[in-house]
Structure 1
Amino acid sequence: NKLMLKFRLLDSNSDFPSVNRDLIESTAIKAAKLAGEVILSGYGSINLQNDIISKIGSRDIVTNVDKASQTIIYDTINEVFPDHDFLGEEDVDPGIEASINAISNKVNSSNLWIVDPIDGTTNFAHAIPLSGVIIAYAENGVTLFGLIYDPFRDELFTAWKNNGAYLNNNKISCCLTNNLRDSVICSGSPPNIKSLDACLRGMLTLSPKVRTVRLLGSAAIMLSWVACGRITAYYEADLNVWDLAAGALIIEEAGGIVTDVHRNKFTLTTRNLVASNKHIY
């Protein structure tokens, strides 16, 4: 696996970042694993009456573990790359407009880390082991490296642009399902009611035509599971850049397609997502 990693890092067909690739990847992995330890240590300890902070209503929440996870990620990255920009979910005010402004202000950064310290906070708070750490590294509006870490299964999904996608250093690819009737489709339950309505309408349309539709409560899990072939596709309205940047790259590098609902190619400002293998897209 170490030899495989070395060859991946030296692949001459890759898009090389402006700083050392080995250092970006090793720093991201260290940060994700440390955050995973924070998540596991706090798992099952959340008092649902006293330990939850509502951002905008009861459907969008944060816990002190989210904040502790982001702090350790930031500190780990900042120690190695003190001059890089950092965009973490817990630094952004609640609401769609604040999220749009946050990425708009940094999208053209020459060195930008994009982080969701716990994607799937509601699952985590309710002791449902479906959440993950998301870390992406971008330059000038392009994601070059993506990482999703599931601490409950100790599964580390990574991808470099133009260099394939990997799960614990083993190459992965999207599934080969080529028809809707055999497909497992995932969607979400976003906090915004209009966005929720869009997801539900999609479910009503798709459900009779597919094997099943699932709502797993974490973009990190659903994106990474599309990439490794466990599910066929995932769509959701009104997601943020910290939800999507890493997973979109991982799916593309696993041979999948990621666009918005109008078939426009994914960018860091995309907020609605369709991600699947190439056969049912």
Structure 2
Amino acid sequence: MESDPETLTVVAEQVAVEAAELVLDAYESMLAGERVAVDTKSSETDVVTAVDTASERLVRERLAQRRPGDAVLGEEEGTDGESQRSASGVTWVVDPIDGTVNFLYGLPWFAVSVAAQIDGVSVAGAVVEPVSGRRWTATRGRGAWLDGRALRVSEPASLDVALLATGFAYSSERRERQARFAASILGRVRDLRRQGSAALDLCAVGAGWIDAYAEHGLSRWDWAAGALVASEAGAVVTLPGEAPELGDDAITAAAPSIAAPLREALRECGAGEV
């Protein structure tokens, strides 16, 4: 099997599109009144649906057919293929529905996220929105695209006119700390957005729809594909562990023109204590 990033990007997109079709069918059935089985994970607000599970299983099946030597890390079923990882060097990181709460409430801002990583670094990724059909893709060193159109980040003149997106944890205690942080940073930027899908927020940075994004507490499947889209579109991205002054689990993505002042503002507003 070839493991060059362009080949992996094609596989990521094809598999994500197929899973998105499954999710869309379920979403439309739910809107028509069909019940969806729901369970919880870390808290009462951290939900998983039967559709999440079905989507991930479909992705795993398709990857097993196309890339039988690869490992898979998925949100719902953990990791498999560890013994084979050294054979191919590739691990697929899968979020079967990023934005499950939005999905459950009927809000159309959610996506299937599939990324290929080598040595923990994303080299290919696809984020596909079931409702709109939009396809976000990226290949390390070769760019990022929305439905085949090359992406480029925005160029805000200063931090005070920048639109910042963020998100909140499932733990009520941590949400309270995040709310205090959000209230502090709000005075430094144009406005805040909280849309409920980390993958799509990162893609939106890449498209210039928002100028920056910062969040704590994400898992690898939340950002593996979206962060690559943002980075390949020109954003300055810091992954968990790369900016300890902002917190060990902080992730940021920003247009280059505001990346440095944003990082300083996040620090001054207490991001490291969130």
Superposition TM-score, scaled by structure 1 size: 0.81
Q: Which residue of 1 aligns with 2:266?
A: none
Q: Which residue pairs with 1:250 in the alignment?
A: 229
What is the CA distance between 1:119 and its match in structure 2?
0.2
**Structure 1 residue 197: Cα displacement:** 3.4
Amino acid at match of 1:183: A
**1:277 and 2:261 matched:** no
Shift of residue 135, structure 1, vs aligned partner? 0.7
- Residue 228 (structure 1) aligned with residue 207 (structure 2): yes
Please tell me the root mean square deviation across aligned C-alpha atoms, in Å. Answer: 2.5
Output the CA distance in 2 between the equivalents of 1:198 and 1:160: 36
Aligned-residue offset at 1:50: 6.7
Paired AA for residue 51 in structure 1? A
The correspondence of residues 43-82 of structure 1 with structure 2, limited to 5 A, is 43=27, 45=30, 51-82=37-68
1:97 equivalent in structure 2: none
Q: Give the match for residue 71 of structure 2.
A: 85
Give 1:149 deviation, angstroms.
Answer: 1.0
Query: Retained in 2: the 8 A contact 1:175–1:277?
Result: yes
Contact preservation (8 Å) 1:183, 1:212: yes
> What's the CA shift for 1:226?
0.6
Contact 1:48 1:125 in 2 (8 A): no
**1:34 maps to what in 2?**
18
Once the two structures are TM-superposed, the CA of residue 26 in structure 1 deviates from its matched residue by 2.5
AA aligned to 2:41 is: K
In structure 1, the residue matched to 2:3 is: 19
* Letter aligned with residue 56 of structure 1: S
User: What's the CA shift for 1:60?
Assistant: 0.5
1:179 aligns with 2:135: no
Assess, with a 3 A threshold, how the Cα gap between structure 1 residues 116 and 174 changes in structure 2: closer, same or farther. same
Q: Deviations over 1:205-225 (max 9, x none)?
A: 121232211110111211110
The sequence identity of aligned pairs, in percent, is 30
Q: What SS is found at the alignment partner of 1:230?
A: coil
Matched, 1:139 2:85: no
Establish whether residue 118 from structure 1 lines up as the match of residue 102 from structure 2.
no
Counterpart-to-counterpart distance in 2, 1:263 and 1:27:
29
- The separation in 2 between residues aligned to 1:162 and 1:237, in whole angstroms, is 26
SS of the aligned residue for 1:223 comes to helix
Q: Distance in 2 between matches of 1:141 and 1:85?
A: 12
- 1:211 counterpart letter in structure 2: R
TM-score normalized by the length of structure 2:
0.83
1:169 corresponds in structure 2 to: 148
Please give the per-residue CA displacement for 1:41-97, whole angstroms capped at 9, x wherever unaligned: 1115178987210112221010011011111111111101111100010113xxxxx
- Does structure 2 retain, via aligned residues, the 8 Å contact 1:195–1:237? no
Q: Partners in 2 of 1:31 and 1:139 — Cα distance?
A: 18
Structure 1 runs of 4+ with >3 Å offset: 20-23, 46-50, 260-265
Alpha-carbon contact 2:169-2:217 (below 8 Å) kept: yes
* Structure 2 stretches lacking a partner, 5+ long: 260-274
Q: 2:172 aligns with which of 193, 217, 231?
A: 193
Once the two structures are superposed, what CA deviation does each residue of 1:16-38 show, in whole Å capped at 9, x if it has no partner?
x9625454223222211111111
Which blocks of at least 5 consecutive residues in structure 1 are unaligned? 1-16, 93-101
